[in-house]
Chain A
Amino acid sequence: MLIRHVGVRHFRGIKSLDWHVGGPIVCLIGPGDSTKTTVLDAIEFALAPRWSIPFSDADFYQAKTDNPICIEVTVGELPEELICEDRYGLYLRGYRDNEPIHDDPEDGWEPVITVCLRVGADLEPRWEVIKDSQPDAKPIPWRDRERLCIARLGADVEKHLTWSRGSALSRITGDQTGTGATLAIANRAAHEAIANASLVDLQEAAEVARKAALEFGVKFPALRPGLDTQSFSVGSGALALQDAQGVPLRATGLGTRRLAALAVEQTGLGKDAILLIDEIESALEPHRIRRLLRKLSLDRSASSARNGTSEVHGQVIMTTHSPTAVVALPVTNLAFVQSANGTTTIERVAPAVRDTVQGIVRRLGHALLARKIIVCEGKTEEALCRVMDDVYAERHQGQNFACFGVVPVDGEGRTSGPQCALEFQRLGYGVAYFGDSDQPISPDRQELESRGIHVVLWEGNASTEERIALDLPWHDLQQLVDSAIDEHGEQPVLSAISQRLGPTIVALGSSLNSWEAKGSSQEGIRRAIGKTAKSAKHGWFKDLNSGEVLGRIVFQALPRIPQTPLASSLALIETWVYAE
C-alpha cells in the first residue's frame, strides 16, 4: 500500500491541508508547531483498524465543532481483496502525482481508493470510502482498514515486546492456541507451588478465620492460603522477549528497546505495510538512526528489484528533527511542512534545484532544520556569515544565529543561488540572499524581493573581495594581503597583483605603503587587490577556511568603518537575522 494523497479539514491545528505524498519513503521536516505530528495523527486515525476513536471538542480546529473534521486519505497499490466488486472495486478513482484526483481510474492513472474519516459535532467517527459518482459513500469497517496495514511504530514499545493481544509478536506467531495451553500449565504450576509451600503465618491467620466463621455458624473442615486465579493469572501479555540471561528486553536501554520493537513491529506487519514513525531519531545514536533509515529504505527498494518491476511495496512516513536523519535521506524523500493561519502546506524540493539542495544538505546537515536560511552566492560569503555569527553573538547577549534558527548556506553561484533562495522560500523558510553585485544575478533582485526574499548585494557593482578591499582601513588591508601571502606564498600573490599594478611590485615586497610611494594611488591599489583576490582562477578566499580568515579581518575592522557600504550591507544582514 502507498498513501498517495492526504486531505485534512478542521483537525486540531490544521484547518486545511492538501498533500501529494510522493514515494515510499517520506520524511516530514519543519519547524515546531508546523503540525507534522498532527499530519501523522490524521493519517493514523483515518486508516488504522480501530473500532472507535474517542474524539473531543479539542480535536476540532479551534475547538469549533460546527465544521466537521474530515480526513481523506487516498491509497494506491491496493491488495486484490480490497478492489473486488463487493469491497471497494466500484469506488476506484485515478491518481497521478501532483494532479487533482480523477474520480475514475482512466488508463494510465493509478487505481486508488479514498478513505474518508468524518467526525461531526456528535463526536462519532465515521469511516467511508468515497467517490463522487457514487452518491452513497461505502462504510469501511475496521476489518477492511486492517488490510491497509497501517501502523504507528514506536508508540507501544513495551507492548510489542510481549505476546499480548494485538502485539506484533502475536501477529508473527499467528495462531496462539498452543500458547494458551502452555499458559494454563504455567498457571496451574504456580497454583501448586503456593499450595505446597509452608506458609506458617498465613496458615495461622487462616485458622483464626475458620474458627471465627464457625462461631457465626459457617462450617469449613479446613481453610488454607492459596493462589486466587482471578487476581493472579498469567496471560499472553506476560510472555515477553528476553535475552540469553533471562533479562526482559523491557529492561534494556530505551534506544535498544525502541529499535527492537520497531524491528518486531515491522516484521509483524509485513512488507506492504504503511509505517508511521514520529521523531524517528528519538533515543537513537546517529549510527543507529542511519542504520534504521537505511534498513527502511532498502526494504522498500529491494522488494521492487526482486519483482523486476517498478512497483514499490509499503511506505514509511516519518518526522524528524535530526540532522543525521536529514543527511541520511536523499532530499527527494524530504517533505517540508509549514503552517500559516491554519493552512498547512507540505512541499517537496523542485527537480530543478534538487542537486544544489542535496549538496547543501550533505555539507550542512542541519540547514534544512533551520527556520531562516541565508543563501550565499559562494563560500566567501558563507564564511563571512559564519564569522558574523561568532562576532554578533557577543553583541546580542550571546545569542548566536542558531538561537534564531538561522543558517547560512552556499548557493553555488549567481544563478543556482537565487534559484535556491526561491525554492527555500517556497518550502517555507525565511530567506535572505547575500551576494556580489559585479555581475547580474538571475533570477534578478526584483523577482527575489517580490517573493519576500531579503536581498543583500554590495553597493557599487562590486564583488565581495572588491567591496572589502575598497572599504577596509589601510592597515587592515595590509593584514589582508599578508594573510593571502601566508596562505598562498609571496611570489604568487605579488605576481598576481603585478598584473594590475605593474611589474615593479614584485620587487617592492608586500608593503602597501611602498606601493603607494612608488606612485600607485590608494584607490588603484585597493581596486587591484580586490580584483586579484576574487579572480576566479587564483581567488584568495574561496574556501571556508581562508574565507573565515578574511571574515575575521573584516569584522575586526568593522567598528572603525561604520559609514562604509561594507558596514551598511552587513548591518542589513544583522537586522534580518535578529528580527523576530
Chain B
Amino acid sequence: MQNDLPRQFAHSTRGLVIAPAGCGKTHLIAESVSHCEGRQLVLTHTHAGVRAILDHLKRQGVPSAKYRVTTIDGFALRYAHAFSSLSGWNDPQPRGDAWAQLRPAAVDALRRSAVKSVIRSSYAGLYVDEYQDCTRGQHQLILALAQVLPTRVVGDPLQSVFWKLNSREQFDWRTILDHYTLIDEISTPHRWRDRNQQLGEWLMEVRRILLEGRPLDLRGAPISWETDVGRQNQLAVCRTMLRHSEHSLLALREWGNQCHDLARSLNGAFHGMETVECKHLHEWAQRIETTTGTARVCEILGFAALCLARLPTALKGWAVAFGAGRTPSARLPQYLTAIHALTSVIENDDVSLIDRAMDALEHVDSRVLVARRELWREMRRSLRECHRAGGSSIADTAWHVRNRSRLIGRRVERRCLSTTLLVKGLQFDHVAILNAVELADAENLYVALTRGSRSLTLLSASSILQRARPYFTAVKGN
C-alpha cells in the first residue's frame, strides 16, 4: 500500500479504492479515518464487518470521538424511524423483505434540509465498506449522504457474490465510476505475509486470471490439489485438516444441507454454519407453535432428528407410537425421563414443557451429539424466553432471539463447514474446497480461494478451472 494512500483517500470527496481480498482494506479505512478532520461515519453491511472495523480503529489508536461505525441498514432505520412522518416509516423492527422498503424511506428523510443539517453537524465525512454488496436502495442512500458529506467507498467487483442471486436489486458495479473517482487499487496481499506468502502472491495472480476470464491451471500452484471429489475423500480431507488443532479450519461446499450432512458424519468435529436469517429456526418454531398434543410431540421428535446425531434407534419407534396414540415403552431410566417429558407435552401446552422435553432428548443417551448446535440452542433459548415472557408467540420470540444474535454477532466456530456466501468476509487458517466444480462463477471461486491464510486444499476433478469473465469488469484496467 502506498504510504500516502490513506491520506489521499481521506482528502477525496468522492473517492473509490478497489480492494482485493486480504490486501488490508479495513486497515486502509481505519488509517484513512485517522487522517480526517472531524468525526467520520463508517458504514458497512454486516455487524461482523462493524466489529472488524472497530477492532482496527482501536488497534490503530484512533480516538473514538473521530468515528462512528454502523451498518448501512441500521443507520437507515435510525433516521427513517426518527423522522417517521418524513419517511413514512413506522416499523421499529423490520423483518425480511421490509428492509428493502426501508432504504427509500430513509432517503426521503435524508433529503430534508433539517435532516441534512443533523448529518452535517454530526459528521465531517463518510466511508462505505464493501460497496459491491450494496443494493440499489443502499446505493441511493449513500448518494443522499454524499450530497452532504465527503464520501469514500471501498469495494471489489470480484467479490460481488450477491449479484447473481438478486441482480434486480443489487447495485450495478458497472456504473460505479459515474458516482466515484477511482483513486487506487491496493494490491499487497497482507493477509498471507508471515503465514503463506507464496499462496498470497499466487492468489493475486489468480485474481488477474479470473478477471480476464483465462483458464486457471492448478498444476504447480502452492496448494494441495486432489482429483477425487467423492464423499469419502471429502471426509478424509476434513479429518486430515484436524491435525492443525491450534488453527481455524474451513471446509466449503455449495449447499447448506450438504454441509450439515458432512458435519454429522464427522461426529461434530466441524460445525455446520447456519444462515444468518436461519430459516430452519423460524420454520420449526412455527411448526411447534401451531401444533398441540401428539402432533406437537412428533414435531419435537422431528426437530431432534434434524439437530441431534447418534440418537438411539429406539427413538424412531417413538414417533410412530405417539402418532398412534400410544405411549412408547422403555426400560432405561433416561428413556423413561424423555418419554415422560414428551407425554407431559401432550397433556399441557405450556411452552416450558417443550424445552424440558428437548433437554431430555439431548441427554437421552451419552453418545448423543448436538450436530446443529446453533439451530438447537437458538430454539431452546427462544422457548425459554417465550416462557418467561408469559407464553407469547414462539415464532416471534425466535425472530427476536435471532435478531439479537445478529446484532451481537455470532461466534464463529473454529472449525466450520459452510458455503461461500456465509463465510464472505471471514478468515480462516486452513481452507478446503471440497468440490471446485460447485463454485461455478469467478466471484464465488475467488471468495472461496481467498478465505484461508495458511493453506488451501482443493478437490477438483480437472486441473484447469475455466470460469467466464466476471460480470463487472468495467472498472478494471482504468
Contacts and interface: CB of A to CB of B under 8 A. Distances in A.
A84 interface: yes
Interface in B70-102: 78-79, 81-86, 92
B113 interface: yes
Contact of B82 (A83, A94, A133): A133
B118 interface: yes
Contact of B121 (A84, A104, A109, A135): A84
Contacts of B115: 92, 105
Contacts of A83: 117-118, 121
A109 B112 CA distance: 10
B332 interface: no
Interface in B4-22: none
Given A92-B114, A105-B114, A105-B115, A85 B83 contact: no
A111 to B, nearest CB: 4
A86 interface: yes
Interface in A86-141: 86, 89-92, 94, 102-107, 109, 111, 131, 133-135
A106 B108 CA distance: 11
A81 interface: yes
B122 A94 contact: no
A80 interface: yes
Contact of A85 (B86, B112, B114, B122): B122
A361 to B, nearest CB: 38
B117 A111 contact: yes
A357 B346 CA distance: 84
Interface string B271-309: 000000000000000000000000000000000000000
B78 A102 contact: no
Interface string B118-143: 11111100000000000000000000
A68 B119 CA distance: 35
B298 to A, nearest CB: 42
B78 A90 contact: yes
A102 B86 CA distance: 11
Contacts of A109: 114
Nearest to A86: B122
A103 B83 CA distance: 8
A85 B126 CA distance: 14
B166 to A, nearest CB: 31
Contact of B83 (A81, A104, A135): A104
A102 B123 CA distance: 26
Nearest to B78: A90
A86 B86 CA distance: 20
A109 B115 CA distance: 12
Q: B interface, by DSSP: helix, strand, loop or mixed? A: helix
B118 A103 contact: no
Contacts of A103: 84-85
Interface in A53-105: 80-81, 83-86, 89-92, 94, 102-105
Interface residues of A, number: 23
Nearest to B75: A85
B84 A104 contact: yes
A84 B118 contact: yes
B121 A91 contact: no
Given A81-B121, A86-B122, A94 B79 contact: no
Nearest to B111: A107
A271 B84 CA distance: 34
Interface in A23-46: none
B87 to A, nearest CB: 9
A94 to B, nearest CB: 7
A84 B84 CA distance: 18
B84 A133 contact: yes
A471 B123 CA distance: 82
Contacts of A134: 82
Interface string A125-164: 0000001011100000000000000000000000000000
Contact of B81 (A102, A105, A133): A133
B82 A91 contact: yes
Contacts of B120: 80
A81 B83 CA distance: 19
Contact of A133 (B85, B114, B117): B85
Interface string B199-243: 000000000000000000000000000000000000000000000
B117 A104 contact: no
Contacts of A133: 81-85
Nearest to A134: B82
B170 to A, nearest CB: 28
Contacts of B114: 92, 94, 105-107, 109, 111
B118 A90 contact: yes
B85 A102 contact: yes
Contact of A106 (B79, B112, B117): B112
B121 A89 contact: yes
B269 to A, nearest CB: 46
Contacts of B79: 90
A103 B79 CA distance: 14
A111 B123 CA distance: 18
A107 B85 contact: no
Interface string A252-289: 00000000000000000000000000000000000000
Contacts of B85: 102-104, 106, 133
B64 to A, nearest CB: 12
Contacts of A85: 68, 78, 118-119, 122-123
Nearest to B90: A133
Contacts of A131: 82
Contacts of A102: 85
A84 B118 CA distance: 5
Given A107-B112, A109-B114, A80 B121 contact: yes
B86 A90 contact: no
A126 to B, nearest CB: 21
A374 B147 CA distance: 60
Contacts of A81: 121
A104 B120 CA distance: 18
A135 to B, nearest CB: 8
A543 to B, nearest CB: 55
Nearest to B79: A90
A103 B68 CA distance: 26
Contacts of A94: 114
Greatest chain B CB density within 10 A among A80, A89, A106 is at A89
A105 B112 contact: yes
Contacts of A111: 114, 117
Contacts of B118: 83-85, 89-90, 92
A80 B39 CA distance: 14
B122 A89 contact: yes
A459 B116 CA distance: 67
Contacts of B92: 135
A157 B92 CA distance: 51
A10 to B, nearest CB: 29
A103 B88 CA distance: 13
A446 B84 CA distance: 48
A92 B85 CA distance: 12
A94 B118 CA distance: 13
B413 to A, nearest CB: 36
Nearest to B92: A135
A109 to B, nearest CB: 7
Interface in B136-178: none
Contacts of A105: 83, 86, 112, 114-115
A133 B81 CA distance: 7
A488 B112 CA distance: 69
Question: 6 smallest A-B Cβ distances: which pairs?
Answer: A105-B114, A89-B118, A90-B82, A111-B114, A85-B122, A84-B122
5 contacts: A89-B121, A94-B114, A105-B114, A107-B113, A135-B92
Given A84-B122, A105-B83, A133-B84, 18 more contacts: A81-B121, A85-B78, A85-B119, A85-B122, A85-B123, A89-B121, A89-B122, A90-B79, A102-B85, A103-B84, A103-B85, A104-B85, A106-B86, A106-B112, A106-B114, A107-B113, A111-B114, A133-B81
Interface of B: 68, 78-79, 81-86, 92, 109, 112-115, 117-123
